[in-house]
Structure 1
């Protein structure tokens, strides 16, 4: 009778139901984990700076910046999801089925909330640029708070269905592994609700914003006198290029982070290893690291707020009244 080698099993005493240990060499594991931990740390720090800035400085208490609840969802992606994903890559899953289901709940909840917060910011910018005169009446603090709460409620509700599906399939996989396995129906729903619909909305809104911005710039150009025509034309071209560049960065980065994961989800999950799946998930999570760069670092108020926080001027009395805008 042939004796099976149990040295590569997570739980050797569970010969028939144990998963195999991760096969990463120690040097590969150290290098990979160092890079991923650095990304996780940067994600936490950048989003924490956004949260502190918006919550502390009174001048930033505007409807637009209330939408930076995006920073909260992205902060927890860096604080919870990324470290747990690193744990999955490096070690056998020894936290049990309950923690696996909770981890899957966090994945779907935080990622979905992050995606739809981006959609809310897109809608806010669309109204601000396309309907500037109606912006104060259409976008109020109360309405924004309701929209943000609705966003998180819908994300949590969908996550409960995903988690229930994961719980049903959890007993069918081996012990020592945590897989986000859902039915084809919920997978299709997730593809539509968390990718196709928000991506379409964001692209349509930003294209509309770009068209309006260009038309406004051309209208202003037509009213400029001949004396300053050439300098105005140069400034307008720079404005158009800046708008196009910003639009390109927003759309390309968003699609670059999300397309690989959802293209992967359309293919049989067994075609790639668990490590490849985790790397694709990390690319998915990387959008939470890039969001604060795209939505905050390009704004002067954020740089001023970071300077006040880093130099500890935030501890001084009356620092919340600092002029940042």
Structure 2
């Protein structure tokens, strides 16, 4: 067997073993899972996740997922907890203790202390008869038939199953809380997710004197001067009550030239687009970008509830803001 073939076979075997282990979790989303969700949902404090070794690494990710989806949580290393970090835990918290064997000494050392504080303990173990599982209020079964490691030593399938069980909890709780996109964005303000979910048209639009405006009886030549002044390749047309009644763009100019319109005498009422697309200032910039792409335009008029144009949002502004 060539080395290339051996690599491929090992990779495929690993994926198959871990996939089977994850599939077996379906039957374990049962009343114990429901009870764990109810305990966390009723928690007045935070979810404290703890685990040793590879379980600890998975626990750290689990806590991060909880925290970003509406369930306040953080990871506490069991070794550090025994040397002062236990002070971060309060009686209002809930503990998720992870140990595949259910016998990790560092984790078991903490159990009597949690019990003394009358904290609910949710264990995640591969052995329901283990000391940790027996001590917990709820035990979630993360047992596996085999590790993907051919030596059956390195945590592989077991850590994958633990991670998926944690995700299952997080998603179930997210839905139970009615967690929204906006709430998710507030915990991710620095990344692309936050920009897409937090930035609205009002944050990026050009307003005041930057907004091009002409009246319907304005000559086309005057409109071109206004378009040149603002540099957006378009202008709004408003009536005597400052209500939006049309727009005129560079594209409209080309079409009218092709039709042989008299550029010297034409008015906006004759050449404007009488069905302009306008958006509200509260619309997400990402949604405004979708509108532009669908209509194949580069700018949108922003109007208030009385149909008064209050701003102009250009595609370049959205792209510069990193919303893609």
Q: Tell me which protein shows more helix as a share of its residues.
A: 1
TM-score by length of 1: 0.25
Q: Tell me which protein shows more strand as a share of its residues.
A: 2
RCO greater where, 1 or 2, for CA within 8 Å and sep 6 or more?
1
Which structure would you say has the larger Rg? Answer: 2
